[in-house]
């Protein structure tokens, strides 16, 4: 077969539609007559607090090289990729939250006194390079101007280097009795494979999986207590989410007229999330009527019918990647029916009881859930829905109330919606609450239409109320306080927005 008839590989066929010129004359033409570049970015405020975060991690792993990848793009379909979002450990330790850092890697190299941090990334190419105009992954014509090494150093306060120098940096001084090597698991398959190969060559691969799990665990645990900058970001995320819920209420008249009104509600919040932040912290749940009794209902494909409730669980992820997590259950017609109000008040009472427990000195994380369940079980007993008493249901060999409240009441919140998820049990569920911790309180009751153990007047009603809580030196603060949740306040909130 002649060279010009050589069969293309699958990887080469994506370029068939491009028809880009590759001659030297065109490259020279493209590289000339460009004006000066903008000045370097200024030092970011978060760069002042990230050294303390890295120091906490450094203290756990003396003498070991720690590799924290940002991650890479994930394929959505064919050659289309999802919008890039950095791995949370990377974002937390570098302060980077935009789209400047796909394929970047933070490396903490051991020193006699701790670790020295270096950020390796794909820096901006010169305008005389083919990458400048022809590379759809990094080229300036395609994705905008990437930062230079100097730009990134100015922004982050980190020592920066080209990603091309990463292999040598990872390989240096590895071996038994020398430098160990850990990498965040499930972060970047190419970097993880590179680390695995280096471990094999250096004969230090025997405990690699456990070593990497411990690094992920540590990166979760150092986020359990938020610093002042993180608390500020969380307040911003909650405020943006409040605005998103205002948009939801304003969208209800149109949602009622649309055959997939739940999508109208979802879209109203999503638009605000992109306008005010990076986007959604997680897929929005907009569940009207009986759909609210499917806990993770994200299809959002049903009608919004007057007289029913709509449960919306949504959060704005702001540009720093910190996210709120709020649930409100709203009466579509603007006022609760007696049956809806009865169920709603039970859930609200459970939320308030959990908040009171969290404010007590020495409260453990698990106590917050237990307090809410006491209220839920008592209310279910009063409605005649339990096979015995509330006390019997609350016992470990009972738990009958969990039929209608199957999820946990709380989870930590921050740069992940379920933040710090790799932390050890004793650091999370069994831990005493400390100032700077941020978590949710989100009890619910879910009465399915087909559940014959539920009184008929309640069937098809699903209610969850979720707020974001900050532990302070003096107790707790509901940082979502401004988002109404009392029955009268919710009705007044809706009336005000719908009248505007």
Residue numbers of the domain that contains 252: 228-499
In a domain, 55, yes or no: yes
In a domain, 7, yes or no: no
Last residue of a domain, one of 221, 251, 286: 221
Residues 207 and 341 in one domain: no
CATH number at residue 127: 3.40.350.10
In a domain, 8, yes or no: no
CB-count burial class (<10 Å; 0-12, 13-18, 19+) for 450: exposed
Residues 214 and 288 in one domain: no
Task: List b or e across 141-166, with b for residues whose CB sees 16 or more CB atoms inside 10 angstroms.
Answer: eeeeebbbeebbbbbbbbebbeeeeb
Residues 118 and 251 in one domain: no
Residue-level pLDDT at 18: 66
Q: Between β-strands 316-317 and 279-280, what pairing exists: parallel, antiparallel or unpaired?
A: antiparallel
Residue-level pLDDT at 16: 63
Residues 473 and 329 in one domain: yes
Structure tokens at 21: 């010129």
Residues 155 and 302 in one domain: no
Last residue of a domain, one of 171, 186, 221: 221
Alpha-carbon gap, residue 328 to 442, rounded angstroms: 10
Residues 331 and 305 in one domain: yes
Q: What percent of the chain has pLDDT over 70?
A: 97
H helical segments located in 157-285: 166-171, 189-202, 208-221, 228-257, 261-276
Residues 307 and 446 in one domain: yes
- The contacts of residue 330 (CB under 8 Å, 6+ apart) are 248, 249, 252, 309, 310, 312, 490, 494
Residues 343 and 451 in one domain: yes
In a domain, 294, yes or no: yes
Residues 243 and 214 in one domain: no
In a domain, 417, yes or no: yes
Condensed to tens digits (0 to 9), the pLDDT of residues 406-465 reads: 999 999 999 999 999 999 999 999 999 999 999 999 999 999 999 999 999 999 999 999
Alpha-carbon gap, residue 246 to 262, rounded angstroms: 15
- The contacts of residue 433 (CB under 8 Å, 6+ apart) are 358, 363, 364, 365, 471, 476
Query: How many angstroms separate the Cα of 427 from the Cα of each of 92, 424, 431, 438, 498?
Result: 19, 5, 5, 14, 45
Average pLDDT over residues 194-223: 94
Stated as kind and residue range, the H or E segment containing 65 is strand 64-69
Average pLDDT over residues 286-311: 98
Q: What percent of the chain has pLDDT over 90?
A: 87
User: Number of structural domains, the chain?
Assistant: 2
- Looking at the predicted structure, is the pLDDT value of residue 253 above 90? yes
DSSP lists the bridge partners of residue 441 as 467
CATH number at residue 380: 3.90.230.10
Residue-level pLDDT at 99: 74
Last residue of a domain, one of 193, 221, 249: 221
Condensed to tens digits (0 to 9), the pLDDT of residues 122-142 reads: 999 999 999 999 888 898 888
Residues 268 and 293 in one domain: yes
- Looking at the predicted structure, is the pLDDT value of residue 207 above 90? no
In a domain, 147, yes or no: yes
- Looking at the predicted structure, is the pLDDT value of residue 280 above 70? yes
Residues 143 and 253 in one domain: no
Instruction: Select from 408, 426, 404, 431 the least CA-distant residue to 418.
Output: 408
- Classified as helix, coil or strand, 352 is helix
- Looking at the predicted structure, is the pLDDT value of residue 3 above 60? no
Please indicate whether residue 194 or residue 140 has the higher confidence score (pLDDT).
194
The mean predicted confidence, pLDDT, of the chain is: 95
The phi, psi pair for 160, rounded to 5°, reads -120, 155
Residues 120 and 190 in one domain: yes
Quick check: 231 and 470 in contact, CB under 8 A?
Answer: yes
Average pLDDT over residues 363-384: 98
Alpha-carbon gap, residue 88 to 72, rounded angstroms: 13
């Amino acid at each position: 077969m002649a060279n010009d008839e050589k069969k293309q590989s699958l990887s080469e066929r994506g370029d068939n539609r491009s028809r880009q010129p590759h001659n030297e004359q065109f490259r020279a033409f493209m590289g000339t007559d460009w004006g000066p570049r903008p000045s370097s970015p200024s030092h970011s405020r978060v760069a002042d607090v990230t050294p303390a975060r890295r120091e906490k991690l450094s203290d756990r792993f003396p003498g070991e090289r720690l590799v924290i990848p940002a991650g890479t793009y994930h394929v959505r379909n064919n050659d289309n990729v999802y919008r890039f979002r950095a791995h949370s450990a990377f974002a937390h330790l570098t302060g980077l939250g935009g789209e400047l850092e796909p394929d970047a890697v933070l490396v903490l190299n051991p020193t006699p006194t701790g670790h020295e941090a270096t950020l390796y990334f794909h820096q901006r190419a010169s305008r005389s390079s083919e990458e400048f105009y022809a590379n759809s992954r990094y080229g300036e014509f395609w994705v905008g101007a990437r930062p230079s090494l100097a730009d990134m150093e100015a922004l982050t306060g980190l020592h920066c280097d080209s990603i091309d120098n990463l292999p040598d940096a990872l390989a240096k001084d590895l071996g038994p009795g020398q430098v160990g090597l850990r990498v965040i698991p499930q972060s970047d398959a190419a970097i993880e494979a590179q680390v695995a190969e280096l471990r094999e060559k250096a004969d230090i691969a025997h405990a690699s999986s456990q070593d990497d799990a411990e690094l992920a665990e540590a990166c979760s645990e150092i986020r359990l207590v938020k610093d002042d900058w993180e608390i500020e970001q969380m307040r911003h995320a909650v405020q943006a989410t409040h605005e998103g819920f205002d948009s939801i209420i304003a969208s209800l008249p149109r949602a009622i007229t649309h055959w997939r009104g739940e999508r109208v509600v979802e879209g109203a919040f999503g638009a605000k999330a992109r306008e005010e932040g990076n986007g959604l912290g997680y897929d929005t749940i907009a569940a009207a009527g009986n759909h609210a009794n499917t806990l993770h209902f994200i299809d959002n494909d049903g009608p919004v019918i007057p007289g029913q409730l709509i449960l919306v669980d949504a959060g704005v992820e702001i540009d720093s990647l910190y996210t709120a997590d709020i649930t409100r259950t709203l009466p579509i017609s603007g006022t609760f029916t007696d049956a809806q109000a009865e169920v709603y008040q039970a859930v609200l009472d459970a939320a308030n009881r959990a908040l009171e427990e969290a404010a007590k000195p020495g409260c453990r994380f698990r106590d917050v859930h237990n307090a809410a369940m006491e209220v839920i079980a008592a209310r279910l007993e009063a409605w005649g829905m339990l096979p015995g008493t509330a006390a019997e249901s609350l016992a470990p060999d009972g738990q009958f109330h969990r039929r209608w409240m199957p999820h946990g009441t709380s989870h930590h919140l921050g740069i992940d919606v379920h933040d710090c998820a790799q932390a050890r049990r004793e650091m999370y569920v069994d831990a005493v609450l400390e100032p700077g911790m941020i978590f949710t309180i989100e009890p619910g009751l879910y009465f399915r239409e087909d559940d014959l153990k539920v009184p008929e007047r309640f069937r098809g009603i699903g209610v969850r109320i979720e707020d974001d809580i900050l532990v302070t030196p003096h107790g707790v603060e509901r940082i979502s306080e401004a988002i109404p949740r009392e029955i009268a306040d919710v009705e007044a909130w809706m009336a005000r927005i719908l009248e505007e």
